Structure 1
Amino acid sequence: MDRARLCLAPVVLVGLGTLFISLRWLWGKRKARPPTLWRKVGEIAEIFVFPVKSLGPVRLDETECTIVGCKSGWLRDRSLLVVDDGGRFVTARKCPKMVQIIPSVSSSILSLSAPGMRAISVDLSKVEKKMKVVIWGDTVPSNDCGEEVAKWLSRYVLERDSGVRLVYYPLDASSRTVSRVNKAFHPFDTSDLGVFTDETSYALMNQASVDDLNTKLEEPVDPLRFRLNFTVTGARAYEEDTWDWVKIGSVTFRNVRPCSRCLMTTISPETGEKHPKVEPLETLKKYRQPEDPVMKSLVGTSPSFGIHLGLKSSNGIVRVGDPVYVG
C-alpha cells in the first residue's frame, strides 16, 4: 500500500503541475481578449505628434492610429531621428535646445524652423540614401535626409557646420526589439514598439494627474512637458495607473507599462533650457517612485507618470473630444 502511494505521488504532482500550467495559459488567453463591457472615464483634450524625436510637437485635431504610432499622411510620430556622425541617436537630454525646433509636414514636405534660423525643408518622398542608425542598442534601417538639413541642424544644435544628421524611417512596421526591462512588463510585446520611441508607439497623460502635480510645484507645467500623444480630461488623478484596456472612440489600446520619467521632463519647451532645480522630476521622485521591489529593480529611482499604450485593434481615427473608456 505504501509502495503504491509512493508510485502515485509523482503522477499526482505531474497532474497538478499540468493543471496549473493549463490554468495559467487559459488565464493569459482570457486576459488577452478585449473586454465586452466598458466604462467611460473622460475624453481626449489634446493630441500631440512628434515627427522628429526630441524636437517640438505638432498639435492635431485627429490622427490615424497605426501599429507604429500616430499618423496623418506623411506625418508620423517619431519617424525621424537626429544622429551623430557615427549613426548614434542624439536627443534633447544632451542638447536641450532641440525642443525649440518646430517641425511641420505638408504632403511629403518636412519643414523645420528654429529661433534665429531661416526655415528649411526636405522632401521625404525623395530621401533614398540608405544608412544604419543605432537607438537603445537596436540597429535600425533609415534613409539619410541629406547634407543641407544636416548642416542646418548642426549649426543650430552644435553651433558648427557638421556633427549631426537627420534620418527618416521608411517602413510601416517596427524594426526594434523588446528591451530586457520591457520584457518584464506583461503584456509588452514587439507589436507595441514604435519607430524611434523610447518605449512604445503610444502614450497617454491624465490632465488631473498633472493638476495634482502642479499643487506641489513652484512653477506649474502642462501635459506637453511630458511629450505624450494623448491628454485625457475627466478622469480622477492617477486613475490611469490602474487602467488595463483603454478604448478611445472606436480604437482599442492596452496599458502595457507605466511611463518612467527622465531628464526630458526638466526641459522647458518654451526656452529649451533645463530647470535649475531639476523640476518637476525631483518632485515626482518624492511620491511617484515604484514601491514594488521588482519594479524598483527594473527602473531604479525613475518616477512613473503617464502610461504607455499598445494598439490592440485595427487602424482607426482618434479625434479631440472622443470619449475614453476603460475595461
Structure 2
Amino acid sequence: MKKPVLSMLDLVAVREGGTVADALQIAVRTARCAERLGFARYWLAEHHNMPGIASSATAVLVGHIAGATRSIRVGSGGIMLPNHAPLVVAEAFGTLAELYPGRIDLGLGRAPGTDGPTMRALRRNRVETEEDFPRDVQELQRLLGPAQAGQAIVAVPGAGTNVPIWLLGSSLFSAQLAAHLGLPYAFASHFAPRMLHQALAIYRQTFRPGAVLAKPYAIVGVPVVAAPTDAEAQFLASSTYQRVLGILTGNRTRLPPPVEGFMEQITERERAAIEDFLAVGVIGGPQTVQTGLAALAEATQADEFMLVSDVFDADLRLRSLELTAQAMV
C-alpha cells in the first residue's frame, strides 16, 4: 500500500501567556520545519472571533507563510466561502499565485467558521441558501480560469492562474460536490470524524474525471501528538484535550499548557466527548504513532494526511512533527 503524503493544517493557536505576534512567529517556524521534513503543503484555517486562533485573515497569512518558505505549497484549509464574494477570493488568491507561482492552494469550506453574531457581522444582511456554495465554487473556477471573450467580470489578478481548488467538508455535501465537479477533497476528521468513511466512499464512488483530476484524491485530517514515549505524548496532548473540552462547552480560550492526569480529572461523559472528537487522533511514542498512522492509512486509503498538532511548547511541537515524519518512512 502506498503511504499517504504528509501535510499540515495550522490554526495558528494563541497560547496562554503569549501574544498573537508570538503565534504568527511560531507558525513561520512550523512551516519551515514542515518544508524541511518534506511535507507537501501547509494550510491555514479561517476562523473568526476566537481568542485562541490567529488565522482569521487567512489570505494575508498564506502570503506571509509563502514568503517565509521556499518550496512547500501554502494555502487555505479553508476559506469559508459564504463569508466572501467569489471575486474577492479570486483576486486575493490570484495575487498570491502571481507572487508565488505553483505554490498556492485554495481550499474552500461552506461553514461560516464562527458563531451566529459574528457570521452576521461578516456577511451583513446576506442570507445563505444550499444552492449558493456550488454556484460560488463554479464561479471561482471561471474567475481563476482563462478569461473568455466577452467575459463581463474578469479577476485581475486571478484570471488564468488556475489556482487549484479543493473542497473541504465534515459531512456528505462537499464530498458529493467534489465528486460531481471532479475536484480534490479534504475531510475534516481532525474535529468531526464521524462521517469520514461514508464521505470518502461517496466521493470515490461518484467521482467524475475531468480537466482537474483523472481520479479521486482525498486528504484526511489527523490530530497528532508524538513524543519519545506514550506517557509524554499523553501529557502534551492534554493541551489539546483542554482545548477540545472548551470547544464542546462553549468556553473557547487560548491554548493552555499541559496538565498531568487531565483526563482522569474530568467526568466520564467529558472524556467520552473528547475521545469522540479526536477519534482518528494518533497520540503516543514512535511505535504507537507508526502503528496508528498505518492503521488509519489502511482504513481510509487516504492519498494524504493533513496533520493538526496543537502542542503548547513550540519546540516540542516541531519535535512532534519530526517524529511523525520518521514514523511514516
TM-score range, shorter chain: under 0.3
Normalising by structure 2, report the TM-score: 0.23
Q: TM-score, normalised by structure 1?
A: 0.23
- Which structure: greater helix fraction? 2
Bigger fraction of residues in strand: 1
Larger Rg: 1
